[in-house]
Amino acid sequence: MLDIPQLLSRVKLFRKKAAVRCAMCSMGGVGSTALARHIGSISDKTIREHAYTPAVYDDEVDIRLGYMFGNPYDAVLSLFRRNYQDMHAKAMNVNSPTPARSLRGMTLEEYLERGVDEFNIERQFDNWVSNLSPKHPTILIKYESLGSTIDKVLEFFQCEEPFELKRRNSSWVDQPSRIIEGLQLIYGDVAAKIDAMPPLKILLPESAHTRTLNAVPS
């Protein structure tokens, strides 16, 4: 039987930390899981945590959405390093017009040789960032700038508890030239789009206009 301190510990671990209902989605491989759990995302470990479009949440009421994106080269490397490629291909295509191609047992080199974005990262990115008249308040978060914008992110989700950031330990620039060239061939276009995005952007349903938030000075 659990004692009182153990019970309190579990309550603290699983209680919802944000003051509003929220769902955090991402392109994968950008460290979104820890933040999703911190704010109490309803999509954590569901088929909607990598929703290919925000329209997946149109039936929800009183909810705030978050979409985290980042450098696609590092993201894809992270997926293959953890052997998540097959699972993630399914997650990124679920309920979409395209069926997922099996990536089970496929190596990064084999994937890059095919030259096809089986995760449909660019489609998902375009669907989220181009949704200028969203049904729900939506925050677009660039992973690489999270260190300077985390306070604004927590404020958006009305979460008062601080969030501890973790940095990547590796970078795509350290990969062999053949890997870098393969990544750039498939993801060069979406990488340029992501690089051009501001650190943070909020899309509000009451207006077709967007409000861009400047990064918090370090």
State pLDDT tens for residues 74-115: 999 999 999 999 999 999 999 999 999 999 999 999 999 999
Neighbours of 149 (CB within 10 A): 21
pLDDT digits (tens, 9 = 90+) for 163-205: 988 887 779 999 999 999 999 999 999 999 999 999 999 999 8
What pLDDT is attached to residue 72?
98
On whether the CB atoms of residues 143 and 45 are closer than 8 A, the answer is no
Q: pLDDT tens digits, residue range 3-43?
A: 443 333 333 344 446 779 999 999 999 999 999 999 999 99
Contact 122, 189 (CB under 8 A): yes
In order of 16, 50, 68, 199, the CA distances from 215 in angstroms are 27, 25, 15, 6
- pLDDT value of position 6: 38
What helix, strand, coil percent values describe the chain, rounded to 5?
45, 10, 45
Question: How many residues can be counted in the chain?
Answer: 218
User: Among residues 33, 208, 215, 216, which one has the least CA distance to residue 134?
Assistant: 208
Inter-axis angle of helices 72-81 and 177-196, nearest 10 = 130
d(CA 90, CA 63): 25
Closest CA to 37 of 63, 18, 59: 18
Angle at 104 between CA 100 and CA 107, to 5 degrees: 115
pLDDT for 17: 67
Tokens 């329209």 correspond to 55
Phi then psi for residue 22, to 5 deg, are -150, 160
Between CA 34 and CA 30 the distance in angstroms is 10
Indicate the SS3 state at residue 3. Answer: coil
Task: Please state, in angstroms and rounded to a whole number, the distance separating the CA atoms of residues 183 and 173.
Answer: 11
State how far the Cα of 143 lies from the Cα of 141, in Å rounded to an integer. Answer: 6
The CA angle 105-109-115, to the nearest 5 degrees, is 105
Residue with tokens 């997922």: 100
